[in-house]
Homo-oligomer: A and B are copies of this chain.
Protein backbone atom coordinates (compact mmCIF):
# COMPACT_ATOMS: atom_id res chain seq x y z
CA UNK A 1 0.00 0.00 0.00
CA UNK A 2 1.74 3.15 -1.21
CA UNK A 3 1.96 6.46 0.60
CA UNK A 4 0.05 9.02 -1.46
CA UNK A 5 0.71 12.24 0.45
CA UNK A 6 2.07 13.68 3.69
CA UNK A 7 0.67 16.84 5.29
CA UNK A 8 2.59 18.59 8.06
CA UNK A 9 1.17 21.14 10.51
CA UNK A 10 2.71 23.42 13.14
CA UNK A 11 0.70 24.95 15.98
CA UNK A 12 1.44 27.01 19.05
CA UNK A 13 -1.20 26.01 21.59
CA UNK A 14 -1.70 28.09 24.75
CA UNK A 15 -1.95 26.43 28.15
CA UNK A 16 -4.79 27.43 30.47
CA UNK A 17 -2.39 27.48 33.45
CA UNK A 18 1.32 28.37 33.29
CA UNK A 19 3.34 25.28 34.26
CA UNK A 20 6.81 25.26 35.80
CA UNK A 21 9.55 22.87 36.78
CA UNK A 22 13.18 23.18 37.80
CA UNK A 23 14.53 23.14 34.24
CA UNK A 24 12.05 24.55 31.75
CA UNK A 25 10.99 27.56 33.81
CA UNK A 26 7.52 28.87 33.05
CA UNK A 27 5.70 27.15 30.20
CA UNK A 28 2.76 29.16 28.85
CA UNK A 29 2.17 27.32 25.57
CA UNK A 30 3.28 24.19 23.80
CA UNK A 31 4.26 23.65 20.21
CA UNK A 32 2.45 20.88 18.37
CA UNK A 33 3.76 19.41 15.11
CA UNK A 34 1.31 17.14 13.29
CA UNK A 35 1.73 14.68 10.42
CA UNK A 36 -1.08 13.23 8.30
CA UNK A 37 -0.03 10.39 6.05
CA UNK A 38 -2.52 9.31 3.42
CA UNK A 39 -2.25 5.97 1.62
CA UNK A 40 -3.40 5.29 -1.92
CA UNK A 41 -6.61 3.66 -0.62
CA UNK A 42 -7.57 6.95 1.03
CA UNK A 43 -6.85 5.93 4.64
CA UNK A 44 -5.18 8.52 6.87
CA UNK A 45 -2.79 7.98 9.75
CA UNK A 46 -2.04 10.77 12.22
CA UNK A 47 1.14 11.37 14.17
CA UNK A 48 2.39 14.25 16.24
CA UNK A 49 5.14 15.51 18.46
CA UNK A 50 5.43 18.52 20.72
CA UNK A 51 7.78 20.78 22.64
CA UNK A 52 7.30 22.82 25.82
CA UNK A 53 7.60 26.04 23.79
CA UNK A 54 10.87 26.13 21.85
CA UNK A 55 12.37 24.28 18.89
CA UNK A 56 9.21 23.07 17.18
CA UNK A 57 9.78 25.11 14.02
CA UNK A 58 12.98 23.15 13.45
CA UNK A 59 11.14 19.86 13.81
CA UNK A 60 8.43 21.09 11.43
CA UNK A 61 11.05 22.04 8.81
CA UNK A 62 12.77 18.66 9.08
CA UNK A 63 9.54 16.83 8.33
CA UNK A 64 8.12 19.25 5.78
CA UNK A 65 11.27 19.77 3.75
CA UNK A 66 12.94 16.35 4.00
CA UNK A 67 11.08 13.40 5.55
CA UNK A 68 7.71 13.97 3.88
CA UNK A 69 9.19 13.97 0.37
CA UNK A 70 11.39 11.02 1.23
CA UNK A 71 8.55 8.64 2.12
CA UNK A 72 5.94 9.55 -0.51
CA UNK A 73 5.44 6.67 -2.93
CA UNK A 74 6.86 4.06 -0.55
CA UNK A 75 5.02 1.15 1.08
CA UNK A 76 3.28 2.48 4.21
CA UNK A 77 3.37 -0.94 5.90
CA UNK A 78 7.20 -1.15 5.89
CA UNK A 79 7.64 0.77 9.14
CA UNK A 80 11.02 -0.78 9.92
CA UNK A 81 12.70 0.11 6.66
CA UNK A 82 11.01 3.53 6.51
CA UNK A 83 12.35 4.21 10.00
CA UNK A 84 15.88 3.21 8.96
CA UNK A 85 15.64 5.34 5.84
CA UNK A 86 14.50 8.39 7.82
CA UNK A 87 17.28 7.89 10.41
CA UNK A 88 19.96 7.75 7.74
CA UNK A 89 18.44 10.45 5.53
CA UNK A 90 18.92 12.95 8.38
CA UNK A 91 21.73 11.18 10.23
CA UNK A 92 24.31 13.89 9.63
CA UNK A 93 22.33 16.37 11.73
CA UNK A 94 20.66 13.65 13.76
CA UNK A 95 21.56 10.70 15.98
CA UNK A 96 18.88 12.05 18.32
CA UNK A 97 17.73 15.56 19.10
CA UNK A 98 15.28 17.32 16.80
CA UNK A 99 15.59 14.62 14.13
CA UNK A 100 14.21 12.02 16.55
CA UNK A 101 11.20 14.27 17.18
CA UNK A 102 10.62 14.55 13.42
CA UNK A 103 10.94 10.80 12.85
CA UNK A 104 8.64 10.14 15.82
CA UNK A 105 5.76 12.14 14.37
CA UNK A 106 6.03 10.38 11.01
CA UNK A 107 6.48 6.93 12.55
CA UNK A 108 3.39 7.37 14.77
CA UNK A 109 1.36 8.35 11.70
CA UNK A 110 2.62 5.26 9.85
CA UNK A 111 1.66 2.92 12.69
CA UNK A 112 -1.76 4.58 12.98
CA UNK A 113 -2.26 4.17 9.25
CA UNK A 114 -1.20 0.52 9.36
CA UNK A 115 -3.59 -0.27 12.23
CA UNK A 116 -6.40 1.54 10.41
CA UNK A 117 -5.75 -0.35 7.19
CA UNK A 118 -5.84 -3.59 9.18
CA UNK A 119 -8.95 -2.43 11.07
CA UNK A 120 -7.34 -3.00 14.49
CA UNK A 121 -6.74 -0.88 17.59
CA UNK A 122 -3.02 -0.18 17.76
CA UNK A 123 -2.54 -2.01 21.06
CA UNK A 124 -4.00 -5.18 19.52
CA UNK A 125 -1.87 -4.88 16.41
CA UNK A 126 1.15 -4.63 18.74
CA UNK A 127 0.18 -7.81 20.59
CA UNK A 128 -1.61 -6.67 23.75
CA UNK A 129 -4.26 -8.74 25.51
CA UNK A 130 -5.80 -6.20 27.91
CA UNK A 131 -6.45 -2.52 27.49
CA UNK A 132 -6.13 -1.64 31.22
CA UNK A 133 -2.94 0.20 32.14
CA UNK A 134 -1.77 1.31 35.59
CA UNK A 135 -1.56 5.11 35.60
CA UNK A 136 -0.26 7.96 37.68
CA UNK A 137 -1.12 11.63 37.70
CA UNK A 138 1.89 13.77 36.84
CA UNK A 139 1.79 17.15 38.58
CA UNK A 140 3.86 20.05 37.24
CA UNK A 141 3.80 21.82 40.52
CA UNK A 142 7.24 22.92 41.71
CA UNK A 143 6.05 26.49 42.36
CA UNK A 144 2.72 25.48 43.90
CA UNK A 145 2.23 26.47 47.53
CA UNK A 146 1.73 23.52 49.88
CA UNK A 147 -2.00 24.31 49.90
CA UNK A 148 -2.17 24.27 46.10
CA UNK A 149 -0.20 21.03 46.09
CA UNK A 150 -2.61 19.41 48.54
CA UNK A 151 -5.59 20.65 46.57
CA UNK A 152 -4.10 19.21 43.38
CA UNK A 153 -3.54 15.91 45.19
CA UNK A 154 -7.16 15.81 46.33
CA UNK A 155 -8.22 16.45 42.76
CA UNK A 156 -6.08 13.53 41.54
CA UNK A 157 -7.61 11.25 44.20
CA UNK A 158 -11.10 12.37 43.19
CA UNK A 159 -10.29 11.41 39.61
CA UNK A 160 -9.49 7.92 40.90
CA UNK A 161 -5.72 7.95 40.50
CA UNK A 162 -3.84 5.33 42.48
CA UNK A 163 -0.38 6.81 42.00
CA UNK A 164 0.85 10.42 41.92
CA UNK A 165 4.02 12.24 40.93
CA UNK A 166 5.17 15.60 42.29
CA UNK A 167 8.12 17.87 41.49
CA UNK A 168 11.15 18.33 43.74
CA UNK A 169 14.18 20.58 43.40
CA UNK A 170 13.15 23.68 45.33
CA UNK A 171 15.67 26.16 46.63
CA UNK A 172 15.87 24.40 50.00
CA UNK A 173 16.08 20.63 50.32
CA UNK A 174 14.22 20.86 53.65
CA UNK A 175 11.34 22.39 51.70
CA UNK A 176 11.29 19.41 49.30
CA UNK A 177 11.36 16.98 52.21
CA UNK A 178 8.52 18.65 54.11
CA UNK A 179 6.37 18.89 50.95
CA UNK A 180 6.91 15.23 50.06
CA UNK A 181 6.28 14.20 53.71
CA UNK A 182 3.01 16.18 53.71
CA UNK A 183 1.75 14.52 50.56
CA UNK A 184 2.88 11.10 51.80
CA UNK A 185 0.91 11.79 54.97
CA UNK A 186 -2.20 12.59 52.91
CA UNK A 187 -1.87 9.43 50.82
CA UNK A 188 -1.03 6.82 53.47
CA UNK A 189 1.90 4.41 53.41
CA UNK A 190 1.06 2.13 50.50
CA UNK A 191 0.13 4.68 47.85
CA UNK A 192 2.85 5.02 45.16
CA UNK A 193 4.31 8.55 45.39
CA UNK A 194 6.86 9.48 42.72
CA UNK A 195 9.11 12.55 42.65
CA UNK A 196 10.71 14.34 39.70
CA UNK A 197 13.74 16.64 39.94
CA UNK A 198 13.91 17.61 36.21
CA UNK A 199 17.74 17.50 36.24
CA UNK A 200 17.90 20.14 38.96
CA UNK A 201 20.66 18.49 41.00
CA UNK A 202 24.31 17.53 40.83
CA UNK A 203 25.06 13.87 41.48
CA UNK A 204 26.01 14.51 45.09
CA UNK A 205 23.02 16.77 45.72
CA UNK A 206 20.82 13.99 44.39
CA UNK A 207 22.41 11.44 46.72
CA UNK A 208 21.97 13.74 49.71
CA UNK A 209 18.36 14.41 48.68
CA UNK A 210 17.63 10.71 48.19
CA UNK A 211 18.86 9.98 51.70
CA UNK A 212 16.88 12.91 53.11
CA UNK A 213 13.74 11.55 51.39
CA UNK A 214 14.37 7.99 52.57
CA UNK A 215 11.61 8.14 55.18
CA UNK A 216 8.98 9.20 52.64
CA UNK A 217 8.65 5.91 50.75
CA UNK A 218 9.43 7.45 47.38
CA UNK A 219 8.50 4.98 44.62
CA UNK A 220 10.92 6.47 42.12
CA UNK A 221 13.17 9.50 41.77
CA UNK A 222 12.95 10.92 38.25
CA UNK A 223 15.70 12.78 36.36
CA UNK A 224 17.88 13.67 39.35
CA UNK A 225 20.61 15.09 37.09
CA UNK A 226 21.56 15.66 33.44
CA UNK A 227 20.84 12.73 31.12
CA UNK A 228 24.39 12.73 29.78
CA UNK A 229 25.85 11.39 33.03
CA UNK A 230 25.39 7.62 33.05
CA UNK A 231 27.82 6.86 35.88
CA UNK A 232 26.31 9.66 37.96
CA UNK A 233 22.88 8.06 37.73
CA UNK A 234 24.33 4.68 38.70
CA UNK A 235 25.86 6.29 41.80
CA UNK A 236 22.61 8.07 42.71
CA UNK A 237 20.73 4.77 42.39
CA UNK A 238 23.17 2.71 44.45
CA UNK A 239 24.18 5.30 47.07
CA UNK A 240 20.87 7.19 47.30
CA UNK A 241 18.75 4.09 47.66
CA UNK A 242 15.73 5.24 45.62
CA UNK A 243 14.99 3.61 42.24
CA UNK A 244 15.76 5.95 39.33
CA UNK A 245 13.39 6.83 36.48
CA UNK A 246 14.73 8.68 33.47
CA UNK A 247 14.41 8.86 29.71
CA UNK A 248 12.35 11.87 28.64
CA UNK A 249 15.54 13.48 27.32
CA UNK A 250 16.79 10.33 25.61
CA UNK A 251 16.34 10.47 21.87
CA UNK A 252 17.68 7.12 20.71
CA UNK A 253 17.70 3.50 21.77
CA UNK A 254 21.44 3.87 22.46
CA UNK A 255 20.79 6.28 25.33
CA UNK A 256 18.57 3.67 26.96
CA UNK A 257 20.98 0.81 26.34
CA UNK A 258 23.83 2.73 27.98
CA UNK A 259 21.79 3.40 31.12
CA UNK A 260 20.48 -0.17 31.37
CA UNK A 261 23.94 -1.68 30.92
CA UNK A 262 25.29 0.56 33.70
CA UNK A 263 22.37 -0.21 36.09
CA UNK A 264 21.71 3.53 36.05
CA UNK A 265 17.93 3.33 35.53
CA UNK A 266 15.16 1.24 37.12
CA UNK A 267 12.20 2.78 35.29
CA UNK A 268 13.07 3.65 31.66
CA UNK A 269 10.72 6.35 30.41
CA UNK A 270 10.74 6.54 26.62
CA UNK A 271 8.59 9.34 25.18
CA UNK A 272 7.00 8.03 21.98
CA UNK A 273 7.02 11.55 20.50
CA UNK A 274 10.72 12.19 21.10
CA UNK A 275 12.51 8.82 21.13
CA UNK A 276 11.84 7.97 17.49
CA UNK A 277 8.20 6.93 17.50
CA UNK A 278 6.40 3.67 18.14
CA UNK A 279 9.08 1.64 16.34
CA UNK A 280 11.73 2.73 18.86
CA UNK A 281 9.40 2.82 21.87
CA UNK A 282 8.60 -0.86 21.40
CA UNK A 283 12.29 -1.72 21.09
CA UNK A 284 13.12 0.19 24.28
CA UNK A 285 10.34 -1.77 26.02
CA UNK A 286 11.88 -5.03 24.77
CA UNK A 287 15.36 -3.90 25.81
CA UNK A 288 13.99 -3.10 29.28
CA UNK A 289 12.37 -6.51 29.51
CA UNK A 290 15.62 -8.21 28.57
CA UNK A 291 17.31 -6.25 31.38
CA UNK A 292 14.63 -7.44 33.84
CA UNK A 293 13.16 -3.94 34.04
CA UNK A 294 9.65 -2.54 33.61
CA UNK A 295 8.99 0.23 31.09
CA UNK A 296 7.07 3.39 31.84
CA UNK A 297 6.40 6.49 29.78
CA UNK A 298 6.64 10.25 29.42
CA UNK A 299 3.92 12.58 28.17
CA UNK A 300 1.55 11.83 25.27
CA UNK A 301 -0.67 9.58 27.38
CA UNK A 302 -3.27 9.32 24.62
CA UNK A 303 -0.92 7.32 22.42
CA UNK A 304 1.32 5.74 25.05
CA UNK A 305 -1.57 4.03 26.84
CA UNK A 306 -1.86 1.71 23.83
CA UNK A 307 1.85 0.92 23.89
CA UNK A 308 1.92 0.05 27.60
CA UNK A 309 -1.19 -2.07 26.99
CA UNK A 310 0.78 -3.99 24.38
CA UNK A 311 3.90 -4.98 26.36
CA UNK A 312 4.32 -7.55 29.14
CA UNK A 313 6.56 -5.36 31.34
CA UNK A 314 4.43 -2.23 31.67
CA UNK A 315 4.82 -0.03 34.71
CA UNK A 316 2.70 3.10 35.30
CA UNK A 317 1.51 5.37 32.49
CA UNK A 318 2.21 9.04 33.07
CA UNK A 319 -1.08 10.89 32.65
CA UNK A 320 0.03 14.25 31.39
CA UNK A 321 -0.45 15.61 27.93
CA UNK A 322 -0.21 19.38 28.10
CA UNK A 323 -3.48 20.80 26.87
CA UNK A 324 -4.38 18.50 24.01
CA UNK A 325 -7.82 17.45 25.33
CA UNK A 326 -9.74 20.40 23.77
CA UNK A 327 -8.40 19.39 20.35
CA UNK A 328 -9.15 15.66 20.34
CA UNK A 329 -12.55 14.08 20.24
CA UNK A 330 -12.18 11.71 23.20
CA UNK A 331 -9.86 12.36 26.16
CA UNK A 332 -8.14 9.46 27.93
CA UNK A 333 -10.58 7.27 29.85
CA UNK A 334 -9.76 6.43 33.47
CA UNK A 335 -11.50 3.51 35.22
CA UNK A 336 -10.71 2.37 38.79
CA UNK A 337 -7.34 4.06 38.61
CA UNK A 338 -6.48 2.40 35.32
CA UNK A 339 -6.11 4.18 32.01
CA UNK A 340 -7.98 2.48 29.19
CA UNK A 341 -6.46 2.03 25.75
CA UNK A 342 -9.03 2.91 23.12
CA UNK A 343 -10.84 0.15 21.23
CA UNK A 344 -11.08 2.32 18.15
CA UNK A 345 -8.93 1.48 15.14
CA UNK A 346 -5.45 2.99 15.04
CA UNK A 347 -4.16 4.76 18.12
CA UNK A 348 -7.63 6.21 18.55
CA UNK A 349 -6.63 9.86 18.87
CA UNK A 350 -8.72 11.93 16.46
CA UNK A 351 -7.71 15.56 16.14
CA UNK A 352 -10.19 18.39 15.87
CA UNK A 353 -8.38 20.14 13.03
CA UNK A 354 -10.80 23.05 12.93
CA UNK A 355 -10.31 23.84 16.62
CA UNK A 356 -6.53 23.66 16.15
CA UNK A 357 -6.53 25.91 13.10
CA UNK A 358 -6.57 29.17 15.05
CA UNK A 359 -3.24 28.25 16.65
CA UNK A 360 -1.42 27.50 13.41
CA UNK A 361 2.02 29.08 13.68
CA UNK A 362 3.51 31.13 10.89
CA UNK A 363 7.11 31.64 9.86
Contacts and interface: CB of A to CB of B under 8 A. Distances in A.
Contacts of A98: 58, 62, 93-94, 97-99
Nearest to A56: B93
**Chain A, interface SS category:** helix
A28 to B, nearest CB: 15
Contact of A54 (B89, B97, B228): B89
Contacts of A61: 57-58, 60-61, 363
A91 interface: yes
Contacts of A168: none
Contacts of A252: 228
The complex is assembled from copies of this chain, and their number is 2
Contacts of A55: 62, 66, 90, 92-94, 99
A251 interface: yes
Interface in A218-256: 227-229, 249, 251-252, 254
B90 A54 contact: yes
Contact of A93 (B23, B97, B229): B97
Interface in A41-96: 51-52, 54-62, 64-66, 88-96
A62 B57 CA distance: 7
Counting chain B CB atoms within 10 Å of each CB, the highest count among A24, A55, A91 belongs to: A55
Contacts of A23: 88, 91
* Size class of the contact patch on chain A: 35 or more
A101 interface: yes
Interface in A192-241: 227-229
A97 B56 CA distance: 14
A100 interface: yes
Nearest to A99: B97
Contact of A95 (B52, B56, B251): B251
Contacts of A254: 228-229
B363 A52 contact: no
A115 interface: no
A314 interface: no
A102 interface: yes
Contact of A92 (B51, B62, B65, B94): B51
Interface in A88-139: 88-102
A343 to B, nearest CB: 33
Contact of A57 (B56, B66, B94, B274): B66
A209 B61 CA distance: 39
A227 B274 CA distance: 20
Contacts of A90: 54-55
The 5 closest A-B pairs by CB, nearest first: A97-B97, A55-B93, A228-B254, A58-B62, A98-B98
